[in-house]
Amino acid sequence: MPPITTNDLKNGYVLDVEGDLVTVVQFQHVKPGKGGAFVRTKLKNMSSGNVVDRTFRAGERLERVTTEQRTMQFLYLDGEDVVLMDKSTYEQVSVPASEIDALDLIAPSSDVSVLFVREAPFRVEPPTTVELTVTRTDPGVKGDTVSNVTKSAELETGAAVQVPLFVNEGDRVKVDTRTREYISRA
């Protein structure tokens, strides 16, 4: 992609600034009464999540990076890698398992969102919520209906979460992948 100037900036653009991939969060063109014009920006580092303020001269050239968001299917775990398949082209890619959050909550054949930067997978985001079957948990005792009391449950993927006392083995539960908390029965 050809370089752009600071005059062409838009919120959401992904740029390569000094080797770091950053997203434009906010920008403002400033023309002071004295001196040259400049562009004041807020840039979010895509790797660390840090937001920094950065000022560029008006007309300065920046490298815009091509990005694409694709929905892919989680196939299986292959040693230290996760194999994903593009649902439209059936192309398979491997991504290191250590780079995927909440991997133990993703069941095979589930859809995940993959951000591609320069045609290579950059970040894999699991769905916000997943529905999984409880494979092992202690049985609830009749009369145990106190609210806000939980017990540990093992899900079909091997993940352990805290669930209310009324949840039994074989029940399907909905879990938030960001907080790893039980939401409801499915």
Distance CA 72, CA 12 (A): 22
Query: At a CB cut-off of 8 Å and minimum separation 6, what does 150 contact?
Result: 162, 163, 164, 165, 182
Q: What are the tokens at 21?
A: 């991939």
Q: Under CATH, which architecture does the 4-64 domain have? A: Roll (2.30)
Query: At a CB cut-off of 8 Å and minimum separation 6, what does 96 contact?
Result: 80, 81, 82
Secondary-structure class of domain 67-125 per CATH? mainly beta
CATH of 129-185, one of 3.30.1330.10, 2.40.50.140, 2.40.50.100, 1.10.150.20: 2.40.50.140
Distance CA 25, CA 42 (A): 5
Distance CA 95, CA 61 (A): 32
Q: What is the pLDDT along the chain (186 residues), one digit of tens a residue?
A: 678 998 899 998 999 998 889 999 999 999 998 888 999 999 999 888 899 999 999 889 999 998 899 999 999 988 889 999 998 899 999 999 888 888 899 988 899 999 898 888 888 889 999 999 999 998 876 666 666 788 899 999 999 999 988 888 999 999 999 999 999 988
> Judging by DSSP bridges, how do beta strands 51-57 and 38-45 pair with one another?
antiparallel
Residue 172 — φ and ψ, nearest 5°?
Answer: -95, 130
CA pseudo-torsion sign 116, 117, 122, 125:
negative
pTM: 0.75
Domain ranges for the chain, please list them: 4-64, 67-125, 129-185
